[in-house]
Amino acid sequence: MDNERAVLSYLKEKYSTEGWLQRDKISVKDALKVLILDPLKASLGAQSDSSSFHIRLTYSEASDEALGVSKTTHESKRRKTDAENGSNCTSENSFEKVYEPCIFSVHCNKMPIFFSGRYFKYSRNVSQSRWIIDDERMGEASVEEILGGNILPACLGDSYKFHAAGREDIDVRMLGSGRPFLIEVQNSRQCPSEQSLKEVEEKINNSEKKLVGVKDLKCIGSQCWAMMREGEAEKQKQYVALVWIARPLEEKDFNSISSLKELKILQKTPVRVLHRRSPLDREKIIHWMNVEKIKGHSHYFLLHLCTQAGTYIKEFVHGDLGRTTPSMGSILGCRAEIIQLDVTDVKMGD
């Protein structure tokens, strides 16, 4: 290919006005593909077609040590000058005698395979993804490591990537129907059977600490990305929050809260995430809310609510120093604080 570029450079310089030089030309790379493909099919007894299994054939120039040849000072200077000038095209004088064949290597790999499912997080000390600050782990584990660490061995893969439809804070549990996720396994040597995946599910769900659970684990195609993007941006999420207010809860509060439907709120980027998120104003919708009493505790109640994806629930309750309006505190006319929060449903369908 270096020689091909050198020849083309020479021809364009010498025959720049010739029309035949402007017509489409087949490259050496494409010609090699045509020449190599039929012999490979014959010798391997296999057909050539699109596949998730890829074989990369690499031809590279032998090193100077292997050749036992030292470049002259002039050659070294010329190549250094070309590199500094940003030249990626060798001149017609760059042809060199070949002393040894090039080095040939074969690398086989398989395109990623994907697993989908829904996960549950039962602990308030487990992050969604691995979280390290100043070389210190935050939380006792992560959903990513528990799921990926169990699925990867079943695939005999090299590595995995974890993707989820949204996320919850480390101190928020994921309950109800679970949160949709994808595990992308790189270069797997085997695709687990349905029975193997059931065994992986059982191993995670029956672990001693029961930090994380999983359901509906299955192998799927890469078309899953559309579903994940929808889940992150457009769908509804349901929560239950344990709320404290500065005055006793009154009967009229139940109606005033439950009567609010499709409530539009404006949220500035919360103070707690300003260090990593742009300062923006976000308009979100609280679709519905209702209040559940806690017997014997007039200052506490459970708030059930359904919101647009991306709503900051903690800030909606306490107001975030006036950065979320309206808030539960402004609706009730008193200070409100959130004690605990759980996600109870992530709706992916219409």
30 is known as an active-site residue: no
Residue 347's SS3 state is: coil
Would you state the pLDDT for residue 344? 94
Phi, psi at residue 236, to the nearest 5°? -100, 145
Would you state the pLDDT for residue 33? 81
CB neighbour list of residue 327: distance below 8 Å, 6 or more residues apart? 265, 315, 316, 317, 318, 319, 320, 336
pTM, rounded to two decimals: 0.71
Would you state the pLDDT for residue 91? 47
Give the Cβ contact number of residue 19 at 10 Å: 7
Would you state the pLDDT for residue 233? 56
**Could you tell me if 151 and 200 are in contact, meaning their C-beta atoms sit under 8 angstroms apart?**
yes
Q: How far apart are CA 350 and CA 315, in angstroms?
A: 27
The DSSP code for 46 is: -
Q: Is the dihedral of CA 316, 318, 324, 328 positive or negative?
A: positive
Q: How far apart are CA 100 and CA 121, in angstroms?
A: 60
Residues of the chain with pLDDT under 70: 20-25, 63-98, 222-234, 349-350
Annotated catalytic residue: which of 2, 169, 171, 345?
169
Residues found in the chain: 350
The pair of structure tokens assigned to 50 is 């699109």
The pair of structure tokens assigned to 269 is 């980027």
The DSSP code for 193 is: P
Would you state the pLDDT for residue 73? 45
Beta bridge partners of 214: 119
**Could you tell me if 243 and 336 are in contact, meaning their C-beta atoms sit under 8 angstroms apart?**
yes
Give the residue carrying structure tokens 């209040």.
291
The pair of structure tokens assigned to 306 is 């359904």
